Amino acid sequence: MTGFQSWFHAIDTSRIIEWLMFAAAALLAISVHESSHALSAFWLGDDTAKRMGRISLNPLRHLDVVGFIMMVVAHFGWAKPVPINPYRMTKINNPKLGMALTAAAGPLSNLLLALLFGIGFYISLYAGGEALWVKWLGYQDPSGWHYYLTLFLSRCLTLNAGLAVFNLIPISPLDGSKILAIVLPQRTYVQLMRYERYGFAILALLLFTGLLDGPLNTLVSGLLKGVAAVAQPIARAVTGI
């Protein structure tokens, strides 16, 4: 038992907790994102995704195991694509616009989640008082359920902000490539889509070479500042600080 106890005590419990928090935050963000695609398509008249059970917050409906592992390990992953047929969108007489609106629903849902979790994060942070601020700034060892609740809300905030920005990149298969369709002439868009099958490889190359790090970090940081500008006054009003 001595060897096992030594191994057990050597485990970095805080790192495991943070990993589990990120995994839970990712499952929630993915479920809302993909359900929003399916729901928006249904509202526009296409019930393809609804008939396949994709309007659901059950993460198993949307989970791609390899993509999820990649997201947790490398912070770059994917979910099961939502089947959408823009030509069945009977409530809008423009398949290209319908596809763009459905695509935009995913990042928009993550933006709204970022705002909600931002409000929750600042409420939890302010409610913790000075002690929690000290721990958050790293001057004490973090502990206690309140600290981990605040940490979880922070992870949900940053993850959803990151997904909202990342998915707006106009490279297939990301949502931004479909939103781009409404601002490009049809001929130009058709020519661009000829290279759609190379989109994932291009995106992976840009990510793993770090070429997107600067622009993404700048945009996510700006979005987080915007969320804070809205969330902090609400949190102060709720907590009385």
Please tell me which residue, 5 or 106, carries the higher pLDDT value.
Answer: 106
In the annotation, is 18 catalytic? no
**Whole-number pLDDT of residue 139:** 45
Note the pLDDT tens digit of each residue in 28-76: 999 999 999 999 999 999 999 999 999 999 999 999 999 899 888 877 8
Q: In Å, how far are 22, 162, 182, 185 from 188, measured between CA atoms?
A: 39, 29, 11, 5
Q: In Å, how far are 24, 29, 161 from 228, measured between CA atoms?
A: 23, 19, 12
Helices (H), the chain: 2-10, 13-43, 48-51, 65-74, 95-127, 129-136, 145-166, 175-179, 186-193, 199-208, 213-239
Amino acid of residue 22: F
Average pLDDT value for residue range 105-119? 97
Q: In Å, how far are 63, 107, 180, 220 from 213, measured between CA atoms?
A: 26, 19, 22, 10
**Whole-number pLDDT of residue 181:** 80
Most confident of 4-8, 139-143, 153-157: 153-157
pLDDT at residue 154 above 70?
Answer: yes
The mean pLDDT of the chain is 86
Q: Where do the domains of the chain lie? A: 14-239
Residue 126 banded pLDDT, cuts 50, 70, 90: confident
Residue 95 banded pLDDT, cuts 50, 70, 90: confident
**Whole-number pLDDT of residue 145:** 74
Average pLDDT value for residue range 226-234? 95
Residue 120 has a CB neighbour count (10 Å cut-off) of 20
Which listed residue (18, 34, 130, 196) is catalytic? 34
**Whole-number pLDDT of residue 192:** 73
